[in-house]
Amino acid sequence: MRLLVTGGAGFIGSNYVHWVLRERPDVEITNYDLLTYAGNLENLRDVEEGPRYRFVKGDICDSALLDEVVPGHDAIVNFAAESHVDRSIDWAAEFVRTNMLGTNALLDAARRHKTPRYLQVSTDETYGSIDVGSFNEEDRLDPSSPYSASKAGGDLLVRSYHRTYDMPVLITRGSNTFGPYQYPEKVIPLFVTNLLEEKTVPLYGDGMNVRDWIHVEDHVSGIHAVLEKGEVGQIYNVAAGNELTNVELTKALCDLLGKPHALITPVADRPGHDRRYSVDTTRLRALGWTPQWGFDDALQATVEWYRENRWWWEPIRARQE
């Protein structure tokens, strides 16, 4: 099997590449990535010389290059996205371009070249906030930020290509994800690296926003379960049921690193900050998938990875300053 993985140098994409090369020895991967600020080939330096892996630098909005790269692949898994909510508030147009126009260009290429399977990696943020209970895949979308709105727009394009052109598409919507190689603008790597440098950690608002956390290996194994076993045209939520308030998460990180809670610094809340995310994963579990990581072990392993891999994140932090 030949997979085209777009955005494979990013956080979840690179972990997916690692997982597939390790768990599926019959699969070859083409990693197609523009290497914007969060795309990092250092994430993949241990596989870059492997016989089942190749890298192509490219933009998913580049239809001419896609026509060269897409043919011959058995499936496309689209991780390529602008993904940081705060950045989307300041630079919404970049998110619309990649997450919607890029998705459209990739869908068109897949349709032209009759790719047998197309999987769109999306987010639970497209559903918006929910006070009680959990969203299922048929609930309406109610995105709150330019990021989640652009991802919702991409999802709708994917579904429209299934209905209009009978394209064999799938969508996954994952919950908040953490683990190795996550760009240190996201909350867990930002807070861990701040604490390792004895810096304060900025907690939005009252810290009572609730997120459902999943380790990246569980997320990518769920994505691949959908690729292999999912029903064409369907959406699958991917989550592990680890709901915590942001303040609970922040205190847990302080405790794991032996740092005082006094380093937690409240800051003004983010505009349009959703209160709670929660999704139902019954449909995915019916495919035989279950998460393998307990939350406490996953969080501790993640903290240790950042503690032991300063070579990876210190240059990134230096460029941010």
Q: CA 91 to CA 299: how far, in whole Å?
A: 31
In the residue annotation, 147 being an active-site residue is answered as yes
Q: CA 98 to CA 307: how far, in whole Å?
A: 32
Strands 264-267 and 201-204: parallel
Considering only CA atoms, which of 173, 174, 192 is closest in space to residue 183? 192
Q: CA 210 to CA 245: how far, in whole Å?
A: 4
Task: Kindly state the tokens that stand for 239.
Answer: 């989550």
Active-site entry in 33, 82, 125, 217: 125
Active-site entry in 147, 181, 277, 306: 147
| 76, 118 contact by CB (below 8 A) | yes
| 8, 56 contact by CB (below 8 A) | no
Instruction: Indicate the DSSP class of residue 279.
Output: B
Task: Kindly state the tokens that stand for 255.
Answer: 């405790």
Q: CA 128 to CA 278: how far, in whole Å?
A: 10
Q: CA 175 to CA 242: how far, in whole Å?
A: 10
Active-site entry in 124, 137, 217, 274: 124
Task: Report, as residue numbers or ranges, the catalytic residues.
Answer: 124-125, 147
